[in-house]
Structure 1
Amino acid sequence: MLCSASSFINFFKNKAAFLFVLVIEMVPGTSLAQKVKSSLTIEKIMQGTGFTGTSPSEIAWSEDSRFIYFKWNPEKARADSLYKVTATGENTTKVNRPEADFLPTPNGRYNRTYTLKVYEKEGDIYLYDNKTNTSRQLTKTLEPEANPVFSGDEQQVVFTQNSNLFSLHLSSGQLTQLTNFLPGAKKTETKNDQEKWLQQQQLALFDIIKKRTEEEKIEQSENKKFKKKQAKAIYTGEKTVENAILSPDGKFVSYSLVTRPANVKKTIVPDYVTASGFTEDISSRTKVGAPLAASEMGLYDIGKDTTYQISFKDIKGITDQPAFLKDKKKITTPRPVAFFGPFWSDNGKNAVLVLRSFDNKDRWLVQFNPGTRALKVLDRQHDEAWLNGPGIDYEAGDLGWLGDNETLWFQSEETGYSHVYTVNTRTNQKKQITKGKYEVSAVRLTRDKKNWYFQANKVHPGEMHFYRLAVRSGEPEQLTTGAGNHEVTLSPDEKTLAIRYSYTNKPWELFVMPNRTGAKPRQVTNSLTNEFKAYQWRDPEVISFKARDGAEVFARIYRPTNAIANGPAVVFVHGAGYLQNAHKWWSYYYREYMFHNFLVDQGYTVMDLDYRGSAGYGRDVRTGIYQFMGGKDLTDQVDGAAYLVQHYQVNPRKIGIYGGSYGGFITLMALFTQPDVFAAGAALRSVTDWAHYNHEYTSAILNEPFTDSTAYVKSSPIYHAAGLKGALLMCHGLVDTNVHFQDIIRLTQRLIELKKENWELAVYPVENHAFTEPSSWTDEYKRIFKLFEANLK
């Protein structure tokens, strides 16, 4: 269906429709604010990197620190290619296929002197020799090998194949199977009373039977003496084995036994536009609250040929009841936990496990002694909301051992911001290393264990710099300068920084710089197209304002040079929830950044704010949405709109809002629960009912639907759709395996039953959650612009 401007406006006034369309005629409305002649078009912007140019990515050093390798596409080819440049930033060349195939993968494990590196590539194990710059293939099998590490004495490479551990001796080449995990139960022959009686009768009656039976026993006894020693058969029943780890002394194997629930329903996503011409079903994810896989820790004592189960029931706090359940039945059984590790010290004498409760309220660092199977809690991190943050995340997090082999470093939000801490396993002494109202991320310890390197937004929440901190001193040394973001990859010899740098209106480029303060970075890549450089991209003002509860909210403002009072405005809501976008570097939402420049050319003021729940501002901002998404994260948008009216002379009746994913969810909540604030909104790939989203993300914030139903009702737009007044555009990919198309269809039916007429749904048949086709991007953003032109001008 094609729409003229007048029919489009009448459409919103008079009727609702379900539009299955991919083409729209663009007829801009009349602007009351001053416009400037713009060279930008939505078609150009939505070409993505075809318009901007492709920035370098996947930065990695050669093992000898002579070259930097990176993915790049200056030729506008079908896909990015591998390039390399010298450590001084000279002689950028494309890497040919034979050289690329030879290169060790960036992941892998070194020996203690960093002369050898073992790594997995395409399912086989390789050994790289740093002295000779050569790689040797250790395995070449049909079955894939993974997780290679050096043994404690560094004479062997230990790896997994089909969940079992193997060791390969580097000198002799001997391959040894260390574990023998077998599915099912051990088969044992049992006889009933009748069979036993008949067997005894035969022995009593016939001498030949007695003679042969005795000879058979003697032969079995002799064979047992000379039988080749094999790994103990460990039967796992219906459980699967994961994370098998050999202790450095070679005496113990720790492992996970995972029980996966049967018959757990997953959402089916139909794919209609297929090569076969038939509808094909995509099996997607489960929904929040589905039964989870349970894991337990096993330990195999090789010398004693015995297995044990490690119990966590006595860990302090493991039976504590979360606050939101305080009025319900008290629990006495341990809460289920996931465990990670063990992580061994370099000398192999200390090991630590990371435990994390399934309800995301607790994280324990636990010292583990496999000989005695003793557990000692070194640190407990607890949050009645949920634990996350830089260096913490939902798994093991970032941690490691200092040079004394008894002090562990890790990250914690104990002070409200993610910082580096140490704890001594012998004395239990805990020490905070970095301090302040900023966040530390990407922490790494140097090879000589004398310095930490990390990134932090210490200067400003919207700036990211690279720091060095001596283990034995206390003040971080800032190595990078200039506003923006510096993503640093340190050379193996730790003499040079490969820096991927960007600023608000300057996409990512690669620079190199000597590893010292005051050094000048040298630019390596020039990725921008002439067409992109021809436009004068705005550097939006980064401001902050006080929300209604006193919290500081940061935002970016895009403003027409000669803005007319009482003009229109648009509020953009970033996706992902836990993400930062009101910063001073090139946005992940770069198409939206360019679209905001286009909107300003058309006379709009645009605000892009980091609402409650966003990354970069510490624990309180991160958890401000606990049990109520669409609460403080939405009132921050409302307060931002009020700020626009007060400080930028925006017309309070001409404010629109839009965003994708979490931003689409907030847009729906804004139009449904704040209808007098936002006149129009575009909700893209939106969550409409959190009970239908995934478990990992949703349960941390809202708990589970059947234990905290009030949180889900408050937070889900589908329950608030009756409040819709303004014009609503919804856009969704039909093969979205993240936020399922079912989400928007359920809301559509709800709007129909509520007899709402001022909404539109545009469907994109070949798109997943993240659109890939420029034609889809173009169509979507033409619709968004037309929505704003029709309702805000």
Structure 2
Amino acid sequence: MRRLLIPLMLALLALTASAAEPFTVELLFTHPYVTGTAPNNLAWSPNGQRLAFTWNEGGDRFRDLYLAEASGRIIRLSDLQDLPRDARAKDERTPDEIFDETDLDNGVSSPVWQRDGKTLWFAYRGDLFRVEAKAGARPERVFHTQEGEGHAAFSRDGRWMAYTADKDIFARETATGRTVQLTRDGSDDRRNGGGAYDTYLEGVFWAPDSRKLAFIQYDVTGFDKLLIPDYTGKKVEVTKQQREIAGGRLPGIKLGIVNPDSAWGLPLWVNLPDTAQYYIRSLDWSPDGSRLLLEVLPRTMQERFLLLADAATGKVDTVWHEADFAWIPDNMAQARFGPEGESVVFCSEASGWCHFYLLPLDGSGEPRQLTSGAWEVEKGWTTSYDRRSVFFTSSEESTAERHLYRLDLPAGSRSRLSDEPGWISSFALPEGGSKAAVIFGDMTRPYDLYLASGRAEKPLARLTHSPTAEFARYDWFPPEYIEIPTSDGKSFPAKLWLPRNGRKPAPLVVYIHGAGYAQNVDRAPWGWDDKYHRLLAQEGLAVVDIDYRGSSGYGRDWRVDIYRHTGGKDLDDAISAARYCVQQGWADSTRVGIWGWSYGGFLTNMAMFRAGDVFLVGCSVAAPNDWKNYNLWYTTQRFTFPEQDSAAYAQSSPITFAGGLQGDLLIVHGLQDDNVHAQDTIQLIDRLISLGKRFDMLLYPREDHGFQRDASDVHVFRSILEYLQEHLVDGGEVEAAAGE
């Protein structure tokens, strides 16, 4: 049945293609989005009967709080976009900055249920609000302070709500509103409950007995601040960012346990390793609240330790250790107690693929592998309330799909819970585990909220419809899915968007997805890049979107093939993609370009500098050009430290090879980028100037790493289209879709 459904749906889309309206840059990248704004921040009520989530049902940016009842009825619980803003005593902002405060407001976030199941709390504008979970209720702003509050979490018995405020931790008694302060040493440098760069965990973690909670204190005393200038005001202003770059140090870490009934007592500090140079990536309480399970990585990120901490004494024991000569990836950053707290569930790549293991805590043996095969468990898995089941998504069915599964820990058996071919991007499980809320998209439907069974494989039940009414007026044609051979005998998947005018061979653009360790080839082509590639195909370009070496979802060997040399085998894969498309007759070898954002921009620059005989045109956005400038954890994973392996940094950085530029290169960067600082682009263009190289450049003074303003999105995507048209397409004429 599944094999019949996809061709049928695609055929139905094809029937409407001739009457469909053309895509434009404005349509695809201006709010409200025609493809909708998918729900997120899923939170089940304590009894598992109702689901809270944030959403904008009209496709706009601002998210309000919604409630799905057991009947499937959707209720809107907030309408806060027009909430009056606090007056400023001395407001020196520009008109653009004042406009941005409202226009770029993403709305409410972080809903959490009070344990009575009648009230929801959520965060907005740095404060905590609450609202009754019923139609017609009005949200109440419980806190209204300059310091701001967040990370609200309720004790299991419902007596306390803990939260963070001004680098400290507080607890509010639910019945009386009485508040007690649980830590008193918070400051700009000492941050209780999170808020530091190069860290994983934030917030507070209640023990099941409701008597105590755990938190992490991060100490950044003496750390340098990176500067991000803003040139758009009357005077140049600077934002200071606490962040370490390659080879830097980690924040000092302390793990504390506090009791709201003994608020004046000092925290019990867990006896963590003496060195301050490590990450805590996972924390879980035992069912009886007597122990904490921690996953810890040293600064080198080549080892991991599973630790058990005694909640009464703070004593710590190591229960498991493993190492990887490259690095331990983030999709393994989770460990949980099993049934009765007598075992530990975790993921490992010991088999070459990320799979589940069960470790007995009585010392009776080694971890037992629970899943196996040439497929991967995705991060974000969770255990049921009784800890007898694990719910997870994986690529077992297909690397281009993600389905929901249930793993029975005592029996060691698993069952698939979703049937439709597509991609589950996230899910949430109520305490009973009888069902799950999932965010799902497929070949014909953009991402939306659905219900899945928690017990057996059944069709998904749709709860929301996010695409706007305009959606049906356009031909959302799908890509082709192909497998491309590599130069060293392997292969990788790709999405191929062929020009709608049927031209073969066509001008070709190789697209490089961002992040490096990510996956873009999926059977839910609704990302911003998928929408853009439909536009490029409409305008006569072929696009091949590749999961190059280092991408996630394809096992450990594929991941570490770029270790100590990015721009090596991943660049080879981009070259292989171009050559394969030429060999198949899809692409013109004299008209091949490449483009990408972030890591995609990095590899675009490497391609233009080192493979100018293949790539004639490049469009590089927000690219890291010298890895020594980039953040600590990312560079440590791939290159170790500059003082340890300077050659790895040099051979992996585009700035090293800038002299090789031959073709036409458009360099783009947002000057407010706090991820890949604009410094990387400034240093690269300085090098290109000194080498006498010609290039084109666009700077966006008010944009961050991912652009926020619709006008900037429209401008940058139109500019890239025009650049590709000018240099790859005959005549250089830009069609109407460019917005002219």
- Would you call these one fold, judging by a TM-score over 0.5? yes
Which residue of structure 2 aligns with residue 611 of structure 1?
548
C-alpha deviation, 1:714, in angstroms: 0.6
Q: Find out whether 1:280 has 2:237 as its counterpart.
A: yes
Conserved in 1, the CA contact under 8 Å of 2:390 and 2:409?
yes
SS at match of 1:281: strand
Which residue of structure 2 aligns with residue 638 of structure 1?
575
Please give the per-residue CA displacement for 1:275-323, whole angstroms capped at 9, x wherever unaligned. xx3332222344323343233567999999998883636xxxxxxxxxx
Q: Find out whether 1:312 has 2:249 as its counterpart.
A: no
Q: Find out whether 1:95 has 2:95 as its counterpart.
A: no
Kindly provide the amino acid, as one letter, of the partner of residue 474 in structure 1.
G
C-alpha deviation, 1:384, in angstroms: 1.5
Q: How many angstroms apart in 2 are the aligned matches of 1:522 and 1:528? A: 17
Query: How do residues 320-359 of structure 1 correspond to structure 2 at under 5 angstroms?
Result: 336-339=277-280, 343-359=284-300
Conserved in 2, the CA contact under 8 Å of 1:625 and 1:701?
yes
Conserved in 1, the CA contact under 8 Å of 2:291 and 2:310?
yes
Q: How many angstroms apart in 2 are the aligned matches of 1:306 and 1:602? A: 63
Conserved in 1, the CA contact under 8 Å of 2:447 and 2:526?
no
Which residue of structure 2 aligns with residue 663 of structure 1?
600
Deviates more, 1:239-248 or 1:420-429: 239-248
Q: How many angstroms apart in 1 are the aligned matches of 2:64 and 2:311? A: 47
Conserved in 2, the CA contact under 8 Å of 1:453 and 1:469?
yes
Which residue of structure 2 aligns with residue 82 of structure 1?
65
2:317 equivalent among 376, 384, 387: 376
Q: How many angstroms apart in 2 are the aligned matches of 1:449 and 1:681? A: 51
Query: How do residues 69-148 of structure 1 correspond to structure 2 at under 5 angstroms?
Result: 69-75=52-58, 79-89=62-72, 91-96=73-78, 106-107=111-112
The alpha-carbon distance between structure 1 residues 108 and 432, as it changes in their structure 2 partners (threshold 3 A), is: farther
2:304 equivalent among 363, 373, 379: 363
SS at match of 1:791: helix
Relative contact order (alpha carbons < 8 A, sep ≥ 6): 1 or 2 greater? 1
Which residue of structure 2 aligns with residue 467 of structure 1?
405
Which residue of structure 2 aligns with residue 191 of structure 1?
none
Aligned length: 666
Q: How many angstroms apart in 1 are the aligned matches of 2:702 and 2:165? A: 38
Q: Find out whether 1:480 has 2:480 as its counterpart.
A: no
Query: How do residues 566-577 of structure 1 correspond to structure 2 at under 5 angstroms?
Result: 566-577=505-516
Kindly provide the amino acid, as one letter, of the partner of residue 697 in structure 2.
L
Query: How do residues 9-28 of structure 1 correspond to structure 2 at under 5 angstroms?
Result: none
Q: How many angstroms apart in 2 are the aligned matches of 1:149 and 1:157? A: 5
Which residue of structure 2 aligns with residue 271 of structure 1?
230
SS at match of 1:55: strand
Deviates more, 1:643-652 or 1:165-174: 165-174
Conserved in 2, the CA contact under 8 Å of 1:87 and 1:496?
no
Q: Which structure's CA Rg is the greater one?
A: 1
Q: How many angstroms apart in 2 are the aligned matches of 1:297 and 1:502? A: 39
C-alpha deviation, 1:446, in angstroms: 1.5
Q: How many angstroms apart in 1 are the aligned matches of 2:429 and 2:681? A: 45
C-alpha deviation, 1:569, in angstroms: 1.0
Q: Find out whether 1:427 has 2:367 as its counterpart.
A: no
C-alpha deviation, 1:777, in angstroms: 2.2
Q: How many angstroms apart in 1 are the aligned matches of 2:717 and 2:171? A: 56
Please give the per-residue CA displacement for 1:308-340, whole angstroms capped at 9, x wherever unaligned. 883636xxxxxxxxxxxxxxxxxxxx6832346
Q: How many angstroms apart in 2 are the aligned matches of 1:763 and 1:104? A: 31
C-alpha deviation, 1:498, in angstroms: 2.8
The alpha-carbon distance between structure 1 residues 305 and 336, as it changes in their structure 2 partners (threshold 3 A), is: closer
Kindly provide the amino acid, as one letter, of the partner of residue 328 in structure 2.
L
Q: How many angstroms apart in 2 are the aligned matches of 1:619 and 1:411? A: 13
Deviates more, 1:481-490 or 1:256-265: 256-265
1:500 equivalent among 423, 439, 443: 439
Conserved in 1, the CA contact under 8 Å of 2:123 and 2:129?
yes
C-alpha deviation, 1:262, in angstroms: 1.6
Which residue of structure 1 aligns with residue 531 of structure 2?
594
Please give the per-residue CA displacement for 1:371-426, whole angstroms capped at 9, x wherever unaligned. 67654321113112111142x2xxxx332222322212122222222222221221
TM-score (norm 2): 0.78
The alpha-carbon distance between structure 1 residues 107 and 428, as it changes in their structure 2 partners (threshold 3 A), is: farther
Conserved in 2, the CA contact under 8 Å of 1:555 and 1:609?
yes
C-alpha deviation, 1:640, in angstroms: 0.8
1:39 equivalent among 1, 22, 33: 22
Q: Find out whether 1:52 has 2:35 as its counterpart.
A: yes
C-alpha deviation, 1:603, in angstroms: 2.9
The alpha-carbon distance between structure 1 residues 161 and 643, as it changes in their structure 2 partners (threshold 3 A), is: closer
Q: How many angstroms apart in 2 are the aligned matches of 1:685 and 1:460? A: 32
Give percent identity, aligned residues only.
29
Structure 2: give runs of 5+ residues left out of the alignment: 1-17, 84-107, 195-203, 730-740
The alpha-carbon distance between structure 1 residues 51 and 300, as it changes in their structure 2 partners (threshold 3 A), is: closer
Please give the per-residue CA displacement for 1:347-380, whole angstroms capped at 9, x wherever unaligned. 2344333221011111100223466765432111
Conserved in 1, the CA contact under 8 Å of 2:416 and 2:457?
no
Which residue of structure 2 aligns with residue 456 of structure 1?
394
The alpha-carbon distance between structure 1 residues 116 and 398, as it changes in their structure 2 partners (threshold 3 A), is: farther
Kindly provide the amino acid, as one letter, of the partner of residue 379 in structure 1.
W
SS at match of 1:654: strand
The alpha-carbon distance between structure 1 residues 126 and 726, as it changes in their structure 2 partners (threshold 3 A), is: closer
Which residue of structure 2 aligns with residue 235 of structure 1?
none
Conserved in 1, the CA contact under 8 Å of 2:293 and 2:309?
yes
Structure 1: give runs of 5+ residues left out of the alignment: 1-34, 184-237, 314-333
